[in-house]
Structure 1
């Protein structure tokens, strides 16, 4: 049973199948190009799509909209220090703004950035600075078998291989994404956080944690690491960030807000660089491209995110969706992660080759069959990376109920039953920056 109740609702309806087929073709078989009104259940992302609490809405009303030095920024800064342990914070309009501010201050042309697994915008921001993004995931087969307790970990063995390949002086940053979104939302252990921090220190690299799902990762540590079974969740959340030199954060995830983000750093000189870059790209450092009300919403949401009832229910709902899909013989990555269920499209569509994007075909058919919008995180979204063909079903926070999960699972089952009817897809147009092509590229079925 949920520990909250609905106070405001939005009406949704399933568009007729003929309408779904028409708009899918018009969108170039890319669901990013669909209008939200044509979507019944939206699992495209969990970023900024959740429901805010009444306390967050109350905080919105008290937002101080002063350009510089607002009361809202003061409350926000104090919250980040209290919940996450960082005193120096620069707000931004969202997580990719935080990446732009930090990486623009930290990276030079030719630098190398190591990550347990770069997500799309992270990889693009590294590349945009003229740097090289190298993935160092744990040795785990992210298909349909149980992937282990902390399968999102950083592999220091692969990290040392990258150091040998590029040279120690070239590796300027080591990033740890918790939970590991690109690796099926799998968590990272406290031991691996410390091990990765020690590795970064040894090679004299800045240790950065992408903390956008820090509360979900803390809950997994509490559940799976006996050492932390009796530790309050809020303490685990702070402890896992303690080794970091800097963090980036999308407030649209575990700050439970609809917009916002920030970067926070330990070093005073780096902090000054980030502030100056924020002025150029985001706004004055005490508002960072946000209204004061957005800072208030994030500050309140950060405290709510580390409350045990909320985060336990959040992870349980994702696990429930995974169970419903497995009951219908849909191949998924198990155990499920903190924010999404990942379907193994290659296993579901074994006759569609990887170069014809089986994951994107599954995305299209989930929409065609049931108005469910998801996202491909395989060879279409990450070209040239030899990734598994996964489709992510990201659940917005505090938004959908069990009946919606049942509809999602039944939709997937209908797609499974018709899989022999589907051909692959080919790209007919894509933007110049390949790392971001899945946001706007257009495809059509292979003849």
Structure 2
């Protein structure tokens, strides 16, 4: 699929001295860099993509009623059609949905199992008194590994945690598709079935974090033999059919700039989730979204499972990976569906983990070319033994070949100076360690 641009924005590379000043003023935290000073923004693919003309047209129909919005009914119909989920509780974005769901599920002393918790998921579990435990499969966090479904949940790891903690302390088993913290790797349908059985064994709620469900379905179609002749749309419904609850950020595979929801099959949770949603998000037929956003979300869900769109999406991410690798920086293979994960631990092997080699590489990408990515290693995930990754997440339907080439040229400049890279020390951070990478300030290490 090829896209035509119907709206254009400008982006420039600020002079090097300005980039250096911006870094110092930001405390070497790229979240503090204003977007006007970024040439290619790969910080996240969440809500940063470009909507289609059909989505913009749908926004005109937005019903802004506080209660009984027709636009919510349209979103609800799209969720049922595309995802096979009956009960939809809207939220303003994915972390709002996490707050609503995990606040209803998790109590003090509980344990939540996940193939690999992402930052906000981990924080919501901790905030509600729980302990997050990751159960990635062997090799998932090793940049040298190979495999079709390195995002899978290790059920034996889950059973070991249950044996230690007791099944009465495990209210939820979560599978994130694709597995963002494990380099965006996909999860097989076979693994989802296995996790469903495990959740039944311990009487736990099975949650699927479905932010990138369509991209995951694309990989299932390409890599899981049983689904080789199945449409992405059918696979999308199949993989979600094993979940009791779904957490969705529309800012990913909803192809919108804002929005999310909790989807439920388990009606025993519905009342508690709805009451939390009213308290924290808004009434049940808008959930913190404007009617126009609900309309765009409904259209985006249907567009997200179009196979031509997914092919172009995944191909662009793979193209970026090829350019970065050719420039001399190591990347995680196989490449996932939404981002390129650069192995900073190898590229900056001389920088110790407690000086955050991933953050050092992310800073250097900005310094050399005003390219913004995000560290997803020991800075973002303290005390979790994660690889030193820098994630370069590609916004959907936004950048063109020349943007990718600029990132490749920037990567080459970083690779050329890699032996001169320095690490960083944290000089100020918030009380909640799980969220420190959003606002902590750093300085170059001596």
Shorter-chain TM-score tier:
over 0.9
Contact 2:327 2:415 in 1 (8 A): no
More displaced 10-residue stretch of structure 1: 321-330 or 237-246: 321-330
Q: In structure 2, what is the equivalent of residue 264 of structure 1?
A: 263
The Cα offsets for residues 22-51 of structure 1, whole Å up to 9 and x where unpaired, read as: 010100000000100011000000000000
User: How big is the alpha-carbon RMSD for the aligned residues of Structure 1 and Structure 2?
Assistant: 0.8
Contact 1:52 1:256 in 2 (8 A): yes
Change (3 A) 1:141 1:64: closer
> Equivalents in 2 of 1:339, 1:95: separation in Å?
17
- Residues 34-53 of structure 1 aligned to structure 2 (within 5 Å): 34-53=33-52
Contact 2:109 2:131 in 1 (8 A): yes
Contact 2:111 2:130 in 1 (8 A): yes
The Cα offsets for residues 292-348 of structure 1, whole Å up to 9 and x where unpaired, read as: 111101100000000011011101111111111122231110010010000000100
- Residues 216-255 of structure 1 aligned to structure 2 (within 5 Å): 216-255=215-254
SS in structure 2 opposite 1:144?
A: coil
SS in structure 2 opposite 1:13?
A: coil
1:167 to partner: Cα distance: 1.0
Normalising by structure 2, we get a TM-score of: 0.99
- Residues 291-330 of structure 1 aligned to structure 2 (within 5 Å): 291-330=290-329
Change (3 A) 1:146 1:313: farther
SS in structure 2 opposite 1:411?
A: helix
> Equivalents in 1 of 2:182, 2:231: separation in Å?
27
> Equivalents in 2 of 1:323, 1:388: separation in Å?
21
Contact 2:139 2:145 in 1 (8 A): no
> Equivalents in 1 of 2:227, 2:432: separation in Å?
43
Q: In structure 2, what is the equivalent of residue 389 of structure 1?
A: 388
Contact 1:143 1:344 in 2 (8 A): no
SS in structure 1 opposite 2:246?
A: strand
- Residues 39-438 of structure 1 aligned to structure 2 (within 5 Å): 39-140=38-139, 142-438=141-437
Normalising by structure 1, we get a TM-score of: 0.99
1:147 to partner: Cα distance: 2.4
> Equivalents in 1 of 2:322, 2:37: separation in Å?
27
Structure 1 position 22 matched with structure 2 position 14 = no
> Equivalents in 2 of 1:13, 1:413: separation in Å?
19
1:141 to partner: Cα distance: 5.1
> Equivalents in 2 of 1:16, 1:423: separation in Å?
22
> Equivalents in 2 of 1:144, 1:43: separation in Å?
20
1:146 to partner: Cα distance: 4.4
> Equivalents in 1 of 2:323, 2:290: separation in Å?
40
Contact 1:153 1:188 in 2 (8 A): yes
The Cα offsets for residues 199-248 of structure 1, whole Å up to 9 and x where unpaired, read as: 11111100000000000000000011121111111000000000100000
1:273 to partner: Cα distance: 1.1
1:106 to partner: Cα distance: 1.2
The Cα offsets for residues 47-105 of structure 1, whole Å up to 9 and x where unpaired, read as: 00000000000011100000000110111111101110111010000000000011111
SS in structure 2 opposite 1:406?
A: helix
Gaps of 5+ in 1: none
SS in structure 2 opposite 1:50?
A: coil
SS in structure 2 opposite 1:90?
A: strand
1:142 to partner: Cα distance: 3.1
> Equivalents in 1 of 2:106, 2:122: separation in Å?
13
1:374 to partner: Cα distance: 0.2
The Cα offsets for residues 137-181 of structure 1, whole Å up to 9 and x where unpaired, read as: 011153432421100000001001111111111111000000000
Matched positions, count = 446
Contact 1:27 1:33 in 2 (8 A): yes
Contact 1:116 1:152 in 2 (8 A): yes
Contact 2:140 2:150 in 1 (8 A): no
> Equivalents in 1 of 2:146, 2:401: separation in Å?
26
More displaced 10-residue stretch of structure 1: 371-380 or 408-417: 408-417
SS in structure 1 opposite 2:171?
A: strand
Gaps of 5+ in 2: none
